Structure 1
Amino acid sequence: MADALSGIRVLDAATLFAGPLAATMLADYGAEVIKIEHPNGDPVRGHGAQRDGVGLWWKMLGRGKQAMTLYLGSPEGQEIFRRMVADADVVIENFRPGTLERWGLGYEELRRINPGIVLARVTGFGQTGPYAKRPGFGTLAEAMSGFAAITGEPDGPPTLPPFGLADGIAALATSFAVLTALRAREHTGSGQVVDLAIIEPILTLLGPQIIAYDQLGVLQERTGNRSNNNAPRNTYRTRDGGWVAISTSAQSIAERVVRLVGRPDLAEQPWFASGAERAQHADELDEAVGSWIAERDRAEVIEAFEQAQAAIAPIYTAADIVQDPQYEALGTIATLPDDELGPVRMQNVLFRLSETPGQISSTGPPIGAHTEEVLARYDVTGAALDELRDKGVIR
Structure 2
Amino acid sequence: MSSDARTDPPPLTGLKVLEFGQLIGGPFAGKILGDFGAEVIKIEPPGQGDPLRNWRLLRNGTSVWWQIQSRNKRSVTLDLRQPEAQDIARRLAEEADVLIENFRPGVLEDWGLGWKQLSALNPGLVMLRISGYGQTGPYRDRPGFGVIGEAMGGLRHLSGEPGRLPVRVGVSIGDTLAALHGVIGILLALYHRKVNGGAGQMIDVALYEAVFNCMESLLSEYSAAGVIREPAGSALPGIAPSNAYPCSDGHVLIAGNGDSIFRRLMETIGRQDLAQDTALADNEGRVARAAQLDEAIGAWTRLRRVEEVLGTLQAVRVPCGRVYSARDIAEDPQYRARGMIQTVTTREGDMLEVPGIIPQLSLSPGGIRHPAPRLGEDTEAVLASLGIEGERLSALRGARIV
TM-score range, shorter chain: over 0.9
- Is 1:228–1:276's contact at 8 Å kept on the other side of the alignment? no
Q: 1:200 to 1:391 in 2, by over 3 A?
A: same
1:4-24 CA distance string (max 9 Å, x none):
001110001001101100010
The residue identity in structure 1 corresponding to 2:302 is: A
Range with bigger deviation, 199-208 or 46-55:
46-55
- Is 2:347–2:374's contact at 8 Å kept on the other side of the alignment? no
1:114-125 mapped onto 2 (5 Å cutoff): 114-125=122-133
Of 207, 213, 218, the match for 1:198: 207
Q: Distance in 2 between matches of 1:296 and 1:249?
A: 22
Alpha-carbon offset, residue 341 of structure 1? 4.5
Q: 1:252 to 1:142 in 2, by over 3 A?
A: same
Alpha-carbon offset, residue 174 of structure 1? 0.6
Q: What is the percentage of aligned positions where both structures have the same residue?
A: 39
Alpha-carbon offset, residue 270 of structure 1? 3.8
Q: Equivalent residue for 2:3?
A: none
Question: What is the total number of aligned residue pairs between the two structures?
Answer: 393
Report the secondary structure of 1:322's partner residue: helix
Q: Equivalent residue for 1:38?
A: 45
1:323-381 CA distance string (max 9 Å, x none):
11111111111111212152111111111111001101122111111111111111111
Q: Equivalent residue for 1:6?
A: 13
Range with bigger deviation, 249-258 or 345-354:
249-258
Q: Distance in 2 between matches of 1:207 and 1:391?
A: 52
1:214 and 2:223 are equivalent in the alignment:
yes
The residue identity in structure 1 corresponding to 2:43 is: I
Of 366, 376, 380, the match for 2:374: 366
Of 257, 264, 267, the match for 1:259: 267
Superposition CA RMSD, Å: 1.2
1:11-60 CA distance string (max 9 Å, x none):
01001101100010011010110011111311111111112321111111
1:233 and 2:242 are equivalent in the alignment:
yes
Report the secondary structure of 1:48's partner residue: coil
The residue identity in structure 2 corresponding to 1:210 is: L
Of 5, 29, 32, the match for 1:22: 29
Q: Distance in 2 between matches of 1:170 and 1:329?
A: 30
1:142 and 2:189 are equivalent in the alignment:
no
- Segments of structure 1 that go 5 or more residues without pairing to the other structure are none
1:174-213 CA distance string (max 9 Å, x none):
1110011111001221101101101111111110111111
Q: Distance in 2 between matches of 1:272 and 1:366?
A: 60
Q: Distance in 2 between matches of 1:197 and 1:126?
A: 4
- Is 1:28–1:360's contact at 8 Å kept on the other side of the alignment? yes
Alpha-carbon offset, residue 227 of structure 1? 1.6
1:323 and 2:325 are equivalent in the alignment:
no
Q: Distance in 2 between matches of 1:341 and 1:264?
A: 60
Q: Equivalent residue for 1:133?
A: 141
Of 99, 117, 132, the match for 2:107: 99
Q: Equivalent residue for 1:289?
A: 297
Q: Distance in 1 between matches of 2:385 and 2:307?
A: 58
TM-score (normalizing by structure 1): 0.97
Runs ≥4 residues deviating over 4 A: none
Q: Distance in 1 between matches of 2:370 and 2:252?
A: 35
Report the secondary structure of 2:90's partner residue: helix
The residue identity in structure 1 corresponding to 2:236 is: S
TM-score (normalizing by structure 2): 0.95
Range with bigger deviation, 178-187 or 229-238:
229-238
Range with bigger deviation, 209-218 or 118-127:
209-218
Report the secondary structure of 1:79's partner residue: helix
1:123-149 CA distance string (max 9 Å, x none):
010001111011111100111111111
Range with bigger deviation, 289-298 or 166-175:
289-298
Q: Distance in 2 between matches of 1:116 and 1:249?
A: 49
Q: Distance in 1 between matches of 2:285 and 2:131?
A: 41
- Segments of structure 2 that go 5 or more residues without pairing to the other structure are 1-7
